[in-house]
Amino acid sequence: HLITANVDEYPKDLHKYRDQLEGRSMIVCKADRIDAECIVRGYISGSMWKEFLNARKNGSDTVHGFEFPSDLQESQKLPKTLFTPSSKSDDGHDENISYQQLVDLIGAETAQLCRQKSLEVYTKAADYALTKGIIIADTKFEFGFKDGKFIIIDEVLSPDSSRFWPVDKYKIGVGQPSFDKQPIRDYLSTLDWDKKAPGPKLPDSVVQQSAVRYLEAQKLLTGK
């Protein structure tokens, strides 16, 4: 859980190291992680789109308990923002699960908190981003407990955990250009990799493509 990245708020005995710490450090606290990833989707894309296509082939419009319009297209805005959790696995093999499976996994009260807070944060962020020319198609949150208090942990609304699409290039029915790690996903999809650690080394060109997109998103959202 992030406490601060402002060196002025660090313990005083660290202030003398400002030159080394500024822009490359943060103060955090360790939390008891809730073993679930809380995914919110405002548009259909990625793994959910693939699962919908598979369901459609089998004559169904239902995925993980959600019934989708039969004429739904790739990248289309969903009739209602969805909370679609997944299991949390340390080996990286997370699986999409239903809300009831989440309840069975972490308990009804904690599951309700995860769903409520995920939808609240996503909605506020998506509304803001839209005014800056970015669609947040979906995102992922993680939560935990610190001294019995329910808190958000890990990254929040970064290009690593979200799909950011440019509004001016948005087109229903196809995959979208994005300000996220898609160049990395695309490169890894060309490799015969079993998704186990250690991961393959990324070419500098792929890293640079992603960095440019991240900086562009930052500038649009913050003006900096």
Stretches where the chain sits below pLDDT 70 are 90-93
Domains in the chain, please, with CATH? 1-30 (no CATH), 33-174 (3.30.470.20)
pLDDT value for 208: 93
pLDDT value for 124: 98
Which tens digits make up the pLDDT trace of 188-211?
Answer: 989 988 888 888 999 999 999 999
pLDDT value for 194: 83
pLDDT value for 195: 80
pLDDT value for 182: 79
Report residue 118 as tokens: 């995920």
pLDDT value for 6: 95
How far apart are the C-alpha atoms of 23 and 37, rounded to whole Å? 28
pTM: 0.86
pLDDT value for 197: 81
Q: Is-contact 173 75, C-beta < 8 A?
A: yes
